Structures are given as C-alpha cells and as structure tokens.
Amino acid sequence: MRPPVLRRLLAGLAALALLFAWAAPAQAAAKAKVDFFVKSYTLAPGSSALIYTLLFADRPLPVASNAVSLKYELINQPAAFTLQEAGHPNNCSVDIADLLELTCGPMVDRLTPEGVDSGVVGYVQVAEGATAGQTATLSATMTVKGYAPVRRTAKIVVGEGVTLTAVDPEKERSAAPGATIDTPLTITNSSTVPAQGTAIVASAQYAFQSRTQFSNCSYLEGVLTSCVFPQTLAPGVTYRVTLPMRVRQDTAAPSEQYAGWQWMTDEEFADFRQYVLKGGFGRLGAAGKGGVLRLTEVTTAKAGPPQAVTGYTSHGMKLTVTGEQSTDLAAVGVTARGKKGAVVTVPVGLRNNGPAALDRSRVNPGWPTVRFYVPNGATAVKVPELCAPMASSGKVDETRRGEPGELRYSCDFYNLLKVGGTLSFDFGLRMDKVVTGARGAVAVGAPAEELNKANNTAAVVINPPVAAPGGSGGSGGGGGLPITGPAAAGLVAVGLLLVLGGAGAFLLTRRRS
C-alpha cells in the first residue's frame, strides 16, 4: 500500500474513532422517559374514591419539590360524575365552579421504573341519582419540569349498589407453629338485588401459609392474596367460604400475627387488579394449581349490570402464636477501599440464620435494629431513609432520619426477613482522610431471646493493609466498576480503531526506514 493511501486510511480511522468517542457519551446522557397510570373505578351511586396514580420513569429520576404536577379533568362527561378535593391545606385543588377540574402536586422526590404512589388526595365521586352502567372518562395530564406533558385516561363506571355484611368480622385464635388454622369467612347479601360475582383481597402476614392453592385464587410465597367467586349471591342469603391454612413452621413464637380479607364485587376487583399489575398495592402472585374454591349455597350466575359494594366489608384475625421459637441474627460487616475525596458505598446489615422468620409488616416490636458506627477518617454523606442518628448513650433521634454527617446510626426495617435472608443498608462514606485499616462496626440491636450474641457485631474496615507478596490480601480493591452496555461497545470500538491505527503507523514507519 502506498504511503498516501495509508495516510488517508489512518485519517478515516481517526475520524471514526472521534465519532465513536462522541456518540458513546451522548447515548449515556439520553433523557429519561416519564409516564404514569391512573386507576379505573366501578363505584356505587352516592360514593366516591381516592384517585390512585402511579408515576414512572425508565430509570431512577430524582425530582425537585413542586417539579411534578397532575391535572385531572372530566371533559364533556355525564353530570353524575364530579371531582373533589379533601379540604385545605392539601395537595389538590378543585375548580369550585363546576367540580370538573382537579389540580394536584404529587408528594414525590423521585420517579422509578417500579412506580411511586403520587400521594395525591383528590377524589372522583358519583351522584346519588346515577344509573348503573353509566360511564365517564377521567382525563389526566402529568407535567414534569423539563419534560413534555404526558396524557392518560381512566374509566369510571357506575355499578349497581350491593351491600355485603360480614358475619363475625373479627376473630382471635391461638396456635403453635405448624398447627392447622382453617378459617371460615361468612357474609350475607343484605341487598334487595343479587350480587353477581364477588372477590376477596387478602392482607395476611407470612405466618398464614395456605395448605391448598386453588385455581381461582392468587398466592405469593404460599400466602393467599386474592380469590374471585363467579357466583350469584341471592338477596338475604348467607354464604361461607373456608380458607385452609396453617401457621408456618418457622414463625417466631411467642408472637402476634395478623390477617385481613376485604370483600368487593368482581368488577371492582378487575379495577384493583389492573392497578396492581402496574405496580400499585404490592403484588398478587400466581394462581394456584388446585381445584376451585367456592362459596356455599351457590346459584347459577346471571348476566346483569356492573355492581359495586356500598360500604367497606372485611374480616380480620389476630393470631397469637404460642410456644418458644426465636432466631439467630448475625451482623454483616464489609471491607472497602477508597482514595481521599472519593465516596465509597458501604453495605452494612444483618443475616437471619434461623430458625424463625421475622415479619415486621404488621407488628413492629423494637427489634432487630442495625447499628452502624462510621470508621475514622470518613464522613457519612449518603444515609438511608430508615436510618437515624444515634447518640453515644444509644438514644435515637427519629426526627432526623436520613441526615448525613453523624458518627453513629440506628436503622429499622418494616418488612419480612426470611430464614437465610440478609437485610442491608447502603451508606455513602466520603474519604476525608486515608487511614490504613480504619475500623468501624455494625451491630445487631436485639433482645435477650435472640439466640446467639457472639455474632451480633462485625467489623467495617476501610483501606485494609495490603498483604505482602505471596500472601493473601483483604477483600475489595481500587479502580472503578467495569463499563458495560452500549457505551462500552463504543469505547471498545474506539480502542480497536486506535490499535489498528497504531499498527498502520508502525508499518508506515518500518517501510520508510
């Protein structure tokens, strides 16, 4: 190849390299996509419902205060439908003139792919004289500062009012781990019209394990979440369904566990389910693979207008778990490295070694807590919202959760920690001073019944000493995370082009010599 030709080739390669180098950062800086979802409703005449709205972004997107607004409108809809606020002060304001426009300021500081509840306190309401089957379209517009407005709609349907009355709505029982606790739920159709299809939505703790999983019900980790009964309940007749359950074998004892079951029509459940599938109200889980769970005294279901219950109908149960079964909680420490001025993420927490699971989703005893002691030379600049400053005396300032700059923190949790599970809190530590082997600690705050006090503390070590050649060093290390994804592919291409260019330059130099 002649030198001028090679020079032109190298120039082309260099231009491509610059193109890739420019394109990769541009792709990384692409703007997030934002969206939202408004729940649809089936409402009885004379009733109203809180407007549940989920806000999304295709990646975690922090937003400033007042950077997000929502406007709900009923445009050219039947007069039976109106909007309402909850009074002042509040985060929604209704147009008093006609009650057809509601402007709200969501109480959020970030949007996420999973969706965040807007926290708006606004209502859609149906007039007393509304007719079953009437529908309206609720138009909604979300505006995020720096983004184009997004518009979505929800469907509001007037359902024929039915009254379901719970018989023995509150129950109390005692049982040991592993015991059978089959639970009957009994309701009466107190309406003058048949109830043409009903459903229950369950809210039960991990201890309530289903012994049989039915095909018309949903389950999450063995716990019933919902059932749909496509049956007609005659006016004035009482019906019963029995839920086959046991106390899960690894339930802590003694303890208190709670469950609740809310009744609704099948049309109301369809609205509820759509919202859950978008990320609201938790998860329903998969359908069971057994037979069909049915209400007793069933008649053939008949077609009719949509229906909605006229009041809140539910059953609740308090279960006192007897016996003695605690658990071993082990502190989980960490070793990390960082240069002066760098912010290092340090995950600290605890592991449940069993034999009992801990469920704090309903009952929240004062343990366990994770206590973190910041290593010397570091400052906590990023603190989880569930962590609050703790004085040397052990007193926790609950009013300053998530506040940076303290030496000690106490962190709570309010969910389920199964046997073998790990609970972790990520702190961001700024390296103000590089101290070789700087030590902090993580400790488990637990009462006397915790089984093993020997593993309740663990070390947090920053910049441990480097092992001598041939020895074994500590965990962690310098350098950043590996670059992956489309931007990395561009950088790899840049490197390849530069390598090719270098090879060509070497050949050109060699030929000249």
Whether 23 has a pLDDT exceeding 90, the answer reads no
How confident is the model over 459-495, as pLDDT tens digits?
999 999 987 555 433 333 322 222 222 323 332 232 3
Pairwise CA distance, residues 455 & 473, whole Å:
23
Whether 502 has a pLDDT exceeding 50, the answer reads no
Pairwise CA distance, residues 442 & 456, whole Å:
8
Identity at 391, one-letter amino acid code: A
Pairwise CA distance, residues 122 & 94, whole Å:
8
Q: Which residue has the higher pLDDT, 309 or 303?
A: 309
Whether 27 has a pLDDT exceeding 90, the answer reads no
Q: Which helix (H) or strand (E) holds 209?
A: strand 208-210
Residue 490, pLDDT score:
32
Whether 260 has a pLDDT exceeding 90, the answer reads yes
Superfamily of domain 161-324: Immunoglobulins (2.60.40.10)
Residue 281, pLDDT score:
74
Q: Which helix (H) or strand (E) holds 32?
A: none
How confident is the model over 189-229, as pLDDT tens digits?
999 999 999 999 999 999 999 999 999 999 999 999 999 99
Residues 6+ apart with CB under 8 A from 177: 247, 248, 249, 250, 251, 253, 321, 323, 325
Domain covering 34-158 in this structure, CATH number: 2.60.40.10
Residue 181, pLDDT score:
97
Q: Work out the pLDDT band at 38, boundaries 50, 70, 90.
A: very high
Whether 297 has a pLDDT exceeding 90, the answer reads no
Q: Which residue has the higher pLDDT, 108 or 89?
A: 108
Residue 42, pLDDT score:
95
Per-residue b or e along 31-63, where b marks 16 or more CB atoms closer than 10 Å to that residue's CB: eeebebbbbbbbbbbebebebbbbbbbeeebeb
Residue 87, pLDDT score:
76
- To the nearest whole number, what is the mean pLDDT of the chain? 84
Q: What's the whole-number mean pLDDT along residues 421-438?
A: 96
Q: Which residue has the higher pLDDT, 329 or 478?
A: 329
User: What is the SS3 assignment for 55-120?
Assistant: EEECCCEECCCCCEEEEEECCCCCCCEEEEECCCCCCEEECCCCCCEEEECCCCCEEECCCEECCC
For 326-462, give the CATH class: mainly beta
Residue 419, pLDDT score:
97
- The owner of tokens 């304001």 is 93
- The owner of tokens 């969206």 is 35
Residue 90, pLDDT score:
82
User: 443, 369 in Cβ contact below 8 A?
Assistant: no
Bridge partners for 414 per DSSP = none
